[in-house]
Structures are given as structure tokens and as C-alpha cells.
A and B are shown apart, each in its own frame.
Chain A
Amino acid sequence: MRLGRSIRWIIRAGLVTGIVSIYLCLVGVVGTLSTFVVGRITVGRVLLSLPAILVGYLVARPAVIAGEVQRPNVGRAIGAAALAGLCAGGTLAVGIGIVNLLGIDTVRSVFIAVKPELMAVITFGHTGVVGTIFRIVAEVALAAVGGVVGWAPDRIRVPTIVAVSVVIALGLLRRIVHPALAQLGLRDDWLYSAITLGLTWIGAISVFAVTFASSFSWRANRSAIVARTRKTPATEKRVRLAILVVIAVVLAVLPFLVGSIVAQILGSVGIYVLLGLGLNIVVGYAGLLDLGYVAFFAVGAYMTAILTGASRVTTIGYAAPSFSLHLSFYVTVPIVVMGAALVGLLIGAPVLRLRGDYLAIVTLGFGEIARVLFTSDWLKGLFGGTQGLTAVPAAPIGNLDFRDTQHFYFLVLAFCLIAVYLSWRIADSRVGRAWNAMREDEQVAEAVGVSTVRYKLLAFAMGGAVGSLGGALFAVQVGALNNASFTILVSITALAVVILGGMGSIPGVVVGAFVLIGIPGVLSEFEQYRLLLYGAVLMAIMILRPQGLIPNVRRSRELEEEERAQDKWAGEVSGDELAAPGVSPLGGGAG
């Protein structure tokens, strides 16, 4: 075989692709997502085409066998891609055949997404055998295109991928880009069609060309540019300062550029950055898996509401809670932070002896207890039961009340900057080292002189304090609290933010919040598929990049090490004595 990969592997990949395509159709993303991306191409069509392109791309990539890169010639690569596409098309054809055989209405009684519109998308508007053949040909063609890109040398391949991604992103993000360009006084009727609201073909092609060219030249000159910025420490410092200034300027003008709706989404992203940073202290730094983090979010939100003077929702109207103050938001925040830290100690104390999975289960319970308590009839006089609290006052400074989403963004930004600074300083100190040591080996950390009891409690308290800031801001942002806001989904999302970004990594948390909160918020088309998207993204990350998007150096070492330990174990099991002696840094049994 000179294909680099075996025929069997290619056929299997093709069949899997076909099944993925059918799945996407049945779930409904192909039929219902009818926003136009480029010209008359809808999001659904893009999603239906992606699997075939992807499989062609993967099949044509040079195979690495025993450390040696085996590069197939172009004909074979494209042939292999087309073969995979044929298999995918064949699988889809079987699906189309079943629908045709049983009749659309019969299938639809089970799979409600199967509609004539969907079939029209799949078969290009043709029926019966003709439509099926059209689909198969399309799959083969798409896979072949993917194959060409996959086979192409890096200097072509990477800019192509970048340019295509940018075009698709621009096509989806009209809601952000259009007002931003308008704010800057730029015309965009050449870029976006006024009728379809998607990119025009001219716009798409010019964006592709510009991105491709800039990516291409950046790759060609990257080392020279980097070398120039690193010539002396002074230039390096200047470049870093320039980057910081650019980031600061972008952060400062962002909400005005993108409009108030997107500014609100940015506010939510900021709240999850705070939750992520807090949870990152507990999970990423100290290694304590907390699945009940929503407890701190709720404590922050409800305490803020009570202390600033929110109203209770009752059947006859509004009433004051049985206890409430009318403090300023800025007086409230320190009290809330201390309260949340105290709750952290309370939650931490009973679970000091628990580790890993057991800790996760117990904290999961605590999160649920918190929600039930806040929304219970028992505390209805204080927290308003399931109807909750409403009319949470704003957080004014002078004339600015930060109710407006674009102003609120700056309030969130300020809190996020404080939390980032806190996390960064603590991680790089005696406290951070103690947490690290504890995460790596609790018993040894104790034996070296770290009080694991104290540092576990400290992690819970600090994590709770930072997370409660997110809750406080949430109360101000939405102005009303009820039991729908504090479900387990908050804990899971916060944890997903931390894991996606990379455990223990501060930039990772920021990126994770943008990906998991910002992107679904902006792409409102995907709103009903949000959880599907979360699942898919997390699975992809766990398989392709388990250390997270922007990993913490130390944490990624741990994962590599686990893999090495597994390899060593596998080697020992198969009786292979040559399995790299002494590579595993795992200590072994107790001393």
C-alpha cells in the first residue's frame, strides 16, 4: 500500500462521515439553520458539507508511521479522499433511500427534523435516484476538495484553512461586524448582501484573498519578524507594551463598536470569566474537583440583592424581604466577598478528607442544596421562594448607573481585571506553590510542611470569594433572581470554561468563557443547539487537546506524564522489558 493509509481505514472513515452527516440531518441543524453565510449557501448547507471536506482532508494528510512522514503523491491522495467521499455518499444514499421508501411522513413521525425542505437541501432539489446521485457526486467532490487542501504543503494548506475559517466566521458574524463597520463609518454593502444578510460572493472572495495573502506572507516572514522584535530586551519590552496597549484599546472601544446587544453578551462572558477564575483556583491550582460551584454564584447574587435592597415577588405584588438593607453596591461587594469566603469554609470543612470523585459527588450535592435553600418556601420571607427577588438596584457611580449594557461591560471588565490580577499574583507566590504541591501529591506536601487542611480551606474560600463577584454582577445585570438562574448547568458551564481553556491557566479561562458563552450568544441561530455544541466542543477538546486551549505549562506536563505512565504500563503488560526504564516519574507506593 502506497496510500499512506490502508483502504480499510479510508472506507471506515468514509462510513463514519456518512453517519455523522445523517446525524446532523436528523438532529435538525441542516434543515433549520437557514441563515445565509455566502451567497445562497446556508449554515445548514455548510454543516452538511463539512464532514465530507474534513474526511477528505484527513485522509489525504501525510501519514506518520513509526515517526516517519509518508507523503502520498497527489493522485493517490485525492483518490483516497474521493474514495472516502464515495463511502460517505453511499451511507447518505442509504439514508435517502430509506426515507424515499418509507415516505417522508412516516419517517417524520419519529425524526421530526425530516422535512421536504431538508431533503431538498440534501438532494439539491431533485427527487428519487437523480437526487441521490447528485448527493453522492457532491460528497465525492467535497472530499476531493478537502483532499487537495490536506495534501497541499503547509505554506498553502495553513493559509487556506485560516482564510476559509475567516470567511465563514464573517458570514456568521454579520450582527457584530455590520454595526462595527457602520460605527467606523465604513460601507459594507460590497461585503454583505442586503437581501440575504450573508456575504456576497465578491465580498467572500476578496476576504479570502486578503486573508490568504496575509497569512501566507506572515508564515513566510514570521521568523524574521519575531527575530527583529527579540533583537534586544528593550525591543522585546516595547513590542510587549505595544501589544498590551492594543489589547487595552480594543477592550475599551469594544462595547461601542459592537452595539448594545453584543455588549450584553460580553457582560455575560465577563461574569463567566469571574466564575471560571474562581473555580480555577479550586480546581486548577489546588486540584479539588468542585461540581457545586453554583453555590457561590447564588450566594453572591442573593446577598447582593438583599443588601442593596431588592424586592420580593409575591402573589399580590412586590414586598420588601424580611431583612434588607439599602447599601451601595460598592459597599455590598466586600461584604459579599467575605460572606462567600465564609461559605467556602463551611463547604470545605466537611469535605477535607475527600478526594477526586468523592469530592466531586459531595460538592455536587452542596450546589443543589444551595439552590434548594435559596428557592425554598422555608426562606421565602427572605429570598422570595421560587418567584425570587426582583428590582435589584443598579450600581451607580455619580451619574453612571451601569444599567446600560455598554456601561455594565466596563463594570464587569474592572472586576475581571481585579480577579485576573489576584489569580496571577497568588499563583506566583508561596501560596500558589503550596497549592501546586498539594495537587501533585497531597501526602508528600503535608510531610514537607504544607498544612493541607489550611490550604484546602483557603482554596475553597478564595475560589468562593472570586466566584461570588460573578454572582453579584449577575444580580445587577439581570435585576431579578429566581430558581432558573442557579441550576447545576452553571456549575457545569464554569467547569467547562476552566477545562476548555486549560486547567490552571488564566488566559485559558478568558478564552474558554469567550468560546462557551460568547460564541453561542452571538450565533443566536445555534441557541437551541447550545448544549449539543458544548458536548461536541468538549469531546473534541478532550480528544485532540486534553491540556486545554491555552494550557498551563505544568498541567500539560501532568497529562503527558499520565500518557507515558500508561504506555509504560501497557509495555509491562505485554511483557516488553524495553519500555523506557525510569521514564515514569510516578513515585510508586508509600514510603
Chain B
Amino acid sequence: MNVLEVRGVSKHFGGLYALNGLDFVVERGEILSIIGPNGAGKSTVFNVITGLYAPDAGDVVFGGQSLVGLTPNQITKLGIARTFQTVHLFPNMTVLENAMVGQHCRSRTTVLGAVLRTRAMRREERSIREHAESALGFFGQRLAGYRQDQPAFSLSYANRRRLEMARALATEPSLLLLDEPTAGMNPRETLELRDHIVRMRDDLGLTILVIEHDMRVVKGVSDRVVACDYGQKIAEGSYEDVANDEHVIEAYLGTKAAG
């Protein structure tokens, strides 16, 4: 069953087409990787799906509902969470608070509840904290213990990436978009993260759409791969099919010299 359908989406900035009639679907419970050379429009499609950009043409359908015209926070509430290509945390809030903000869209305390400190409010606050802690707990000891009360900016680079994912998990999504999750990580951390991505699918039952440059990761995690170039899909299928596709090779390496 299709969780997400991207139907003929185009997006241009001035004269430059970042997306040009892009089509693909994401099926429930799969990990779909999007690959493509720089400027192929990969991050743009994430921004269109999550509502940061409005598409110029085409439609994005999630669980039978069109996402076009919704605000990013409404889309998050529907169950799509994302991470960013460059880490975007709330650097001066603590690690735990960062994850607790993720629970915002799953809770409902208002000003009145906060002031009166009703029993329902306190129960919800406890539940927010527990959910946030369990989201952080997904990464084992990496974000546990004393680190939870440290400001987010004090974390190492890899831990900031993990925290961003934990914050996304705390929004209780059904579809998770990861934008180059292993960028800037060392080989060991990359391997660890590859396992985490697979576990998010197997243990948490998430559907995952991932943009990735590291082909070992793509090979390791992908159920299917979509390759893009110039804002269009140029190949689709299993990792082996796509990796051997002549359009893909051409996009990455250029055409063979004549003769």
C-alpha cells in the first residue's frame, strides 16, 4: 500500500527547475532511498513534502490526503517527521527539552492548563517527558544520563545528528524523512547509524524516505532506490538495478567520450 505519493511535482526557482515533474511512491514499511548528484532536487522534494515549499505543479498525497497547501506543523501532526541536511536543533535548550518539543504536536495543554496546573496537565507533562526520554533512548547510551540536561549545542556533531533524529521520532511519525543522515560522520558512526535506520523500520514500524550519498549505507538499508537528476526520476528499483542503470552511471560520471 502506498503511504506517500509524489505525483508530477515541479518546483522552480526563477528559471531553474529544481523539480521537473517528479513521480514516485513510498510503500508502507519500506526504506526508500533517493540518490542523485548534487543539485538533482533531492532536498527540494523533502521541502515540498513537508510544506516548506509549495509545489508549482503536481500533488503530494499522504495516506489519501493531499498535503499541498498545508502548513509544516499540520503536516508534522499528520505523521511526517524530518531531519535537515545541516543539523537544526534548538541549541540553547537542553537535549531533553529538544525532544520534548517534538511531543508538542501530540499534546494539548493550553495556557489555562499550565497556569492552573490541573491533574490532566501534569499527567500530560509526565507523558511528554516519558515519550521524549524513550525517543532519546532509541540511541542507547548516546543521549542518556547527564547529557539529557546539557544544552544541545554542547553535544558532539554525531550526537547532534542523533538528537535531531530523536526529536523527529518524538513527534510519533509514521513516515520519517532523513536528509543525508550520515553526512560528516566517521565510518564507525556511519555503520552504527545504518543499523539504527534499519531498526527504525523493524522495531518502530516506520516507513522511511532517506536521501543519502554514502552508497554503502544506501546498499545496506534500501528496500528500493529512486535515482533523480535535474528534478526528474531517471531510475527506480532495487539497489543493484539502479546502481547498474546506464542513466544513473551517466548522471554520476558523465557520458562516455565518443569513439
* Residues of A participating in the B interface, judged by any CB pair closer than 8 Å: 421-422, 425-426, 428-434, 436-437, 440-441, 443-453, 458, 462, 554-555, 557-558, 561, 582, 585-591
CA separation between A444 and B42, bound complex, in Å? 19
B234 surroundings in chain A (CB, below 8 A): none
Are A445 and B92 neighbours in the complex by a CB distance under 8 Å? no
Are A448 and B43 neighbours in the complex by a CB distance under 8 Å? no
CA separation between A590 and B76, bound complex, in Å? 18
Which residue of the partner chain B has the closest CB to A452?
B73
A437 surroundings in chain B (CB, below 8 A): 90, 93, 101, 104
* Residues of B participating in the A interface, judged by any CB pair closer than 8 Å: 43, 46-47, 50, 52, 71-74, 76-77, 81-93, 97, 100-102, 104-105, 107, 109-111, 113-115, 117, 121, 124-125, 128, 151-153, 156-157, 160, 167-168, 171, 179
A586 surroundings in chain B (CB, below 8 A): 91
Q: How far is the CB of A30 from chain B (nearest CB, A)?
A: 44
Which residue of the partner chain A has the closest CB to B102?
A448
A445 surroundings in chain B (CB, below 8 A): 90, 101
Q: How far is the CB of A507 from chain B (nearest CB, A)?
A: 19
Are B111 and A588 neighbours in the complex by a CB distance under 8 Å? no
Q: How far is the CB of A457 from chain B (nearest CB, A)?
A: 12
Which single member of A449, A450, A451, A587 contacts B86 (CB below 8 Å)?
A587
Which residue of the partner chain B has the closest CB to A582?
B157
Are B72 and A446 neighbours in the complex by a CB distance under 8 Å? yes
Give the 3 A-B residue pairs with the shortest CB-CB distance, closest first: A591-B84, A585-B153, A449-B105
Are A429 and B125 neighbours in the complex by a CB distance under 8 Å? yes
Are A591 and B97 neighbours in the complex by a CB distance under 8 Å? no
**Contacts A443-B52, A450-B104, A582-B157; A589 near B86 (Cβ below 8 A):** yes
30 A–B contacts, CB within 8 A, in A order: A422-B115, A426-B111, A429-B109, A429-B121, A430-B124, A433-B93, A433-B97, A433-B101, A440-B90, A444-B84, A444-B89, A448-B81, A448-B101, A448-B171, A449-B101, A449-B102, A449-B105, A451-B73, A462-B111, A554-B151, A557-B91, A561-B91, A582-B156, A582-B157, A585-B91, A586-B91, A587-B89, A590-B84, A591-B47, A591-B179
Are A451 and B115 neighbours in the complex by a CB distance under 8 Å? no
B76 surroundings in chain A (CB, below 8 A): 447-449
Are A591 and B115 neighbours in the complex by a CB distance under 8 Å? no
Which single member of B104, B110, B179 contacts A449 (CB below 8 Å)?
B104
Interface centre among A432, A445, A585, A590 (most CB of B within 10 A): A585
A451 surroundings in chain B (CB, below 8 A): 71, 73-74
B100 surroundings in chain A (CB, below 8 A): 433
Are A440 and B114 neighbours in the complex by a CB distance under 8 Å? no
CA separation between A444 and B76, bound complex, in Å? 11
Q: How far is the CB of A158 from chain B (nearest CB, A)?
A: 31
Are A431 and B157 neighbours in the complex by a CB distance under 8 Å? no
Are B88 and A431 neighbours in the complex by a CB distance under 8 Å? no
Are A585 and B152 neighbours in the complex by a CB distance under 8 Å? yes
Are A440 and B93 neighbours in the complex by a CB distance under 8 Å? yes
A449 surroundings in chain B (CB, below 8 A): 73, 76-77, 101-102, 104-105, 171
Which residue of the partner chain B has the closest CB to A454?
B73
CA separation between A447 and B100, bound complex, in Å? 14
Are A450 and B101 neighbours in the complex by a CB distance under 8 Å? yes
Q: How far is the CB of B102 from chain A (nearest CB, A)?
A: 6
Are B101 and A591 neighbours in the complex by a CB distance under 8 Å? no
Q: How far is the CB of B34 from chain A (nearest CB, A)?
A: 14
Are A447 and B52 neighbours in the complex by a CB distance under 8 Å? yes
Are A557 and B115 neighbours in the complex by a CB distance under 8 Å? no
B77 surroundings in chain A (CB, below 8 A): 449
Which residue of the partner chain A has the closest CB to B116?
A425
B43 surroundings in chain A (CB, below 8 A): 591
Are B73 and A450 neighbours in the complex by a CB distance under 8 Å? yes
Which single member of A422, A434, A444, A555 contacts B104 (CB below 8 Å)?
A434
11 other A-B residue contacts (CB within 8 Å) besides A430-B104, A451-B71: A422-B115, A436-B101, A440-B90, A444-B90, A445-B90, A446-B71, A450-B105, A554-B93, A587-B88, A589-B86, A591-B85
Which residue of the partner chain A has the closest CB to B160?
A585
Are B114 and A431 neighbours in the complex by a CB distance under 8 Å? yes
Which residue of the partner chain B has the closest CB to A436?
B93
CA separation between A561 and B92, bound complex, in Å? 9
CA separation between A541 and B32, bound complex, in Å? 54
A441 surroundings in chain B (CB, below 8 A): 88, 90
Are A587 and B87 neighbours in the complex by a CB distance under 8 Å? yes
Interface centre among B84, B100, B124, B125 (most CB of A within 10 A): B84
Interface centre among B74, B87, B114, B171 (most CB of A within 10 A): B114
Are A431 and B110 neighbours in the complex by a CB distance under 8 Å? yes
Are A426 and B85 neighbours in the complex by a CB distance under 8 Å? no
CA separation between A429 and B107, bound complex, in Å? 11
CA separation between A433 and B82, bound complex, in Å? 20
A440 surroundings in chain B (CB, below 8 A): 90-93
CA separation between A436 and B121, bound complex, in Å? 19
CA separation between A426 and B113, bound complex, in Å? 9
Which residue of the partner chain A has the closest CB to B168?
A448
Q: How far is the CB of A560 from chain B (nearest CB, A)?
A: 9
CA separation between A538 and B22, bound complex, in Å? 56
A429 surroundings in chain B (CB, below 8 A): 109, 113-114, 121, 125
B72 surroundings in chain A (CB, below 8 A): 446-447
B52 surroundings in chain A (CB, below 8 A): 443, 447
B156 surroundings in chain A (CB, below 8 A): 582
Q: How far is the CB of A434 from chain B (nearest CB, A)?
A: 6
Which residue of the partner chain B has the closest CB to A564?
B153
CA separation between A589 and B87, bound complex, in Å? 9
Q: How far is the CB of B39 from chain A (nearest CB, A)?
A: 14
Q: How far is the CB of A316 from chain B (nearest CB, A)?
A: 47
Q: How far is the CB of B253 from chain A (nearest CB, A)?
A: 27
Are A591 and B73 neighbours in the complex by a CB distance under 8 Å? no
Q: How far is the CB of A590 from chain B (nearest CB, A)?
A: 8
Which residue of the partner chain A has the closest CB to B128?
A430
B111 surroundings in chain A (CB, below 8 A): 426, 431, 458, 462
Interface centre among A433, A586, A588 (most CB of B within 10 A): A433
B97 surroundings in chain A (CB, below 8 A): 433, 436
CA separation between A421 and B116, bound complex, in Å? 10
Which residue of the partner chain A has the closest CB to B172?
A449
CA separation between A453 and B104, bound complex, in Å? 15
**Contacts A449-B73, A449-B76; A426 near B114 (Cβ below 8 A):** yes
